[in-house]
Amino acid sequence: MSLIDKGLQEGLIKFDETRKSITYTTINKKYRFTDPEEQVRAELYLQLIFTYGYKKERIDLEVLVPRRTPTDKADIVVFTDDELKNPYIVTECKKPEITDAEFIQAIEQGFGNANSLRGNYLIVTSGLKTAYYNVKDFPVAERSENIIADIPKAGEKKTHKYKYTKGGINGFELELVSEAELVRRFKQAHDTLWGGGERNPSEAFDELDKIIFCKIWDELVPRKKGEPYDFQLFTGEHPERLMSRIKKLYHKGREKDPNVFSDNITITPQEMQTIVGYLAPINLSKTNLDSKGRAFETFLGAFFRGDFGQYFTPRTIVKFITDTLPITNESLVLDPACGSGGFLLYALDKVRLLARNMTEQGYFEDTNEEKKYWHEFAQNNLYGIEINKGISRTAKMNMIIHDDGHTNVINNDALEDIENKIFLNAVKNGSKGYKNFKKDNFDFIITNPPFGSTLKQSEKSYFTYYELAKKSTDWIKLRLGNIRTNEYRDMQNSEILFLERCYNFLKVGGYLAMVVPDGMLTNSTQQYVRNWVEEHFRIVGVVSLPQTAFTATGAGVKSSVIFLKKYDLATTKALQAVKAKTQDELFEMPVYGPAIKQLEAKEARIIAKGDNVIQTITEELENHLKALKEQGKLTEKERKELIIAAKDRINKHKKTEEYQNWKRDITDEYNEKIENIIETLNDEYIKKVKERLQYYPIFMAIAEDIGYDATGRITGRNELEDISKELARFIENIEDRKESFFQLALA
């Protein structure tokens, strides 16, 4: 039960019908509850009564401060007497989302009031952060040495050294807070580190990641009941001492997980003190897994979109993909472009739900068995690769927040050689699961790789690892002799190479679900990609997403999700043999290969002959030479000079706009004729291949409403939920192709 609910039940407070006003019944004072500061004050008022045990009759609100301006009042004052003459605790309440500078101003205002009222203790709180001070035993200007861990409870004579202890014995246990409050605390802590621009947002986020890591590690350290947590501020403790204690936590955590963080904490002791103030009261390890996961992702999404320039797959699309695939606790799952780990976390949630259902059905005797079921999956079966160092660290932190699995996320370019750089880097980083980063190994690959990026062969040495980086994927140009089998493209789209990389990682019979731009599925220039896909995968399904699917996250490319099942090598070779046989037969037909070659030869002859000007120069030269020869006046020297002069005239003419336009027109004319033949040839080729390979059913769907609109606003319907159920049934009942491709290839 919340403090507000308990206060209502005990009659200490009441609301009007609209809940816009709150009345403190003991003192009969009414205030506007829509004011965020009033909400903070109401919580603290009830906390002083229920948690600290102070008498309600000895607490007053809006207490006039003597020797201050007439309108200056203390928010709450706890007195030691029934007559309310001897102030004991003075408080200053502020709204939750105030800046650190405003909080410091509130401290000064609180000290002014406390000193004027001659109170013993001061509480300054924003709800998200609370500071406690011993006022009476220190000089008026002291603001550091008089910090205390907590105020005394009613009847206690002195303050405690610490506030939060294991089990709450001789102190308080850490609090379980709401998802919304976690988001606010994360944001306030990040803003402290960002400092309005003193650090760039990504650096601030990296430092916050480290501190959250320390917080979680501290909660997991074994300790007896009543022992204090280390991640908190102790009474009379200088910020340097606090910093030293947190750094010890950090180094101990790094000893166990050396691959999470490689560099040291770089924030100041004062910044550490502020952030500990935000995070110390909450229990991250025991807060509901769904709530804390969503809170971290909500903060993460807002941060990356607003400050880091990164865009991640919307939750409804990630859920659709993971819900559709038959992932179990025994599945090896990979995202080679994992970003902050969204796909991995949803795969984990899917297995967690399986475990929960098994518990309800009586498969597990207790929650420990249930946790073991999904926790071992998180530790041993979930894998990710992320090229950006900061984002990969965030993915690991995201996994830690969700209860482990982070050791299998590595920072590397997934397009690098699997058996070289990725493998060695995983070993170097100490990943326990590095042996699984190898070819033909994963049951499921779920990913939304970066697309739209153009990778250049001159900059990327790994082009030679990819079939789809070769020009020879264009079979017609290969047969025409326009390209060589070992010739590579100058550049290639990142999503196309990721498609082949996923194939490399996937085991035979494994599934790939990948978000792709629609151009890969429809553009004629990428027909070679589709040809390659049907040779290497059983195409299971294609689900078209609305144009606005990624608009709210800052991207506008029309996309679809493809579901593919990997063939074995024998099937691929048999398919390629059928296609090669079909290509040979068609290309040898007079209307195709020979016709193209004839057009190319004719175009070459026309261009070699030149336009009218060049032909005129050539004819003039021939006539002049002939006339001189007949007259017997042509010497070898003169013949060469005349030829050179004519060539000079021709070369000058070739540089003119007139000649360039003529040549372009000829080239365009014949290219159009050749392209028409190639297009017809390709159509006939696709038709023949379909006839010979007896094509199978493919699940096709168009989703128009996927749960949110272009602005990110939640809509009333998500068609992906129904599509997921139908596609999951389709996959469950899918039949592999039974015909013998070897016989077809030889037919």
Backbone angles phi, psi at 538, to 5 degrees: -80, 115
pLDDT at 404 > cutoff 80: no
C-alpha distances in Å from residue 214, one per residue of 157, 244, 270, 359, 391: 33, 12, 17, 32, 18
Q: Are strands 699-702 and 537-544 parallel, antiparallel or unpaired?
A: parallel
Q: Crossing angle of helices 315-324/342-360, nearest 10°?
A: 50
Token couple for 151 = 């105020």
Query: On the CB side of 584, how many CA atoms lie within 13 Å of its CA?
Result: 7
Mean pLDDT of the region 51-62: 96
| Angstrom distance (rounded) from CA 286 to CA 408 | 23
In this prediction, residue 288 carries a pLDDT of 66
Exposed (0-12), middle (13-18) or buried (19+): which is 587, by Cβ within 10 Å?
middle
Average pLDDT, the chain: 88
Say yes or no to pLDDT of 421 above 90.
Answer: no
pLDDT of residue 548: 82
Q: How far is CA 154 from CA 80, 130, 162, in A?
A: 10, 19, 17
Quote the pLDDT of residue 744: 47
Beta bridge partners, 340, equal none
- Between these two residues, 426 and 351, which has the higher pLDDT value? 351
Instruction: Please check whether residue 74 is in contact with residue 65, taking contact to mean a CB–CB distance below 8 angstroms.
Output: yes
Higher pLDDT, 690 or 108: 108
Q: What are the tens digits of pLDDT across the range 594-611?
A: 999 999 999 999 999 999
Cα–Cα distance measured from residue 300 to residue 306, given in angstroms and rounded to the nearest whole number: 10
Q: Round to whole Å and give the CA distance between 507 and 445.
A: 10
What pLDDT score was predicted for residue 174?
93
Question: CA–CA separation, 663 vs 413, rounded Å?
Answer: 45
Pairing, β 537-544 against β 147-148: unpaired
Alpha-carbon distance values, 186 to 102, 210, 231, 260, 342 (Å): 18, 13, 16, 19, 19
pLDDT surpassing 50 at residue 746: no
Place of tokens 């990725």: 422
User: Is the predicted pLDDT of residue 550 greater than 90, yes or no?
Assistant: no
pLDDT of residue 53: 96
Most confident of 67-81, 253-267, 318-332, 461-475: 318-332
Give the pLDDT of residue 431: 56
pLDDT at 740: 45
Q: What are phi and psi of 424, to 5 degrees?
A: -65, -35
Which carries the bigger pLDDT value, residue 33 or residue 297?
33
**Bridge partners for 627 per DSSP:** none
Query: What is the pLDDT, as a whole number, of residue 303?
Result: 59
Rounded to two decimals, the pTM is 0.76
pLDDT tens sequence across 638-696: 889 889 999 999 999 999 999 999 999 999 999 999 999 999 998 999 889 888 887 78
Q: Are 174 and 283 in contact (CB under 8 A)?
A: yes
CB 305, CB 319: distance < 8 Å: no
Mean pLDDT calculated for residue range 70-83: 91
pLDDT band at 272 (very low <50, low <70, confident <90, very high): very high
Residue with token string 């601030």: 204
Within 13 Å, how many C-alpha atoms sit on residue 531's CB side?
23
CA-CA-CA-CA torsion sign (95, 99, 105, 110)? positive
- For the cut 80, the answer to whether the pLDDT of residue 443 exceeds it is yes
What is the rounded average pLDDT of the residues 184-201?
Answer: 80
What pLDDT band is residue 428 in, cutting at 50, 70 and 90? Answer: low
**Cβ proximity of 431 and 407 under 8 Å:** yes
CA distance linking residue 745 with residue 747, whole number of Å:
6
- Per-residue confidence (pLDDT) for residue 304, from 0 to 100: 58
Q: What distance in Å separates the CA atoms of residue 322 and residue 638, rounded to the nearest whole number?
A: 82
- Rounded to whole angstroms, the Cα distance separating 226 from 228 reads 6
pLDDT digits (tens, 9 = 90+) for 446-462: 999 988 788 888 888 88
Query: Please, are residues 473 and 532 in contact by the beta-carbon 8 Å criterion?
Result: yes
Report how far apart, in Å, the C-alpha atoms of 86 and of each of 59, 73, 122 are.
11, 16, 14
Mean pLDDT calculated for residue range 243-270: 84
Q: What is the pLDDT of residue 449?
A: 92
Ranges 178-182, 203-207, 216-220, most confident: 216-220
Work out the pLDDT band at 203, boundaries 50, 70, 90. Answer: confident
Tokens coding 744: 């077809």
As a whole number, mean pLDDT of residues 108-112 equals: 94
> Which residues have a Cβ under 8 Å from the Cβ of 601 and sit 6 or more positions away?
none
Which secondary-structure segment (H or E) carries 718?
strand 714-718
- What is the per-residue pLDDT across 357-375, written as a single tens digit (0 to 9) for each? 898 888 887 778 888 888 8
Question: What was the pLDDT predicted at 739?
Answer: 45
> Residue 743 has what pLDDT?
46
Whole-number Å distance between alpha carbons of 708 and 724: 17
* Structural tokens at position 380: 């041993």
Largest CA distance in the chain: 140
CATH of 3-159, one of 3.40.50, 1.10.10, 3.90.1570, 1.10.3470: 3.90.1570
- Rounded CA-CA distance 342/489 in Å is 33
What are the residue boundaries of the structural domains of the chain, listed by start?
3-159, 166-310, 454-567+696-746, 593-693
CA 153 – CA 50 distance, rounded (Å)? 10
Rounded Cα–Cα distance for residues 257 and 407 (Å): 7
Sheet containing 699-702: order of strands: 409-411, 382-386, 333-335, 442-447, 506-517, 559-566, 537-544, 699-702
- The confidence score (pLDDT) of residue 441 equals 94
The pLDDT value recorded for residue 403 is 67
- Considering just the CA atoms, what is the radius of gyration of the chain in Å? 37
C-alpha–C-alpha distance, residues 42 and 125, integer Å? 12
pLDDT above 90 (res 555): no
pLDDT for the residue numbered 37: 96
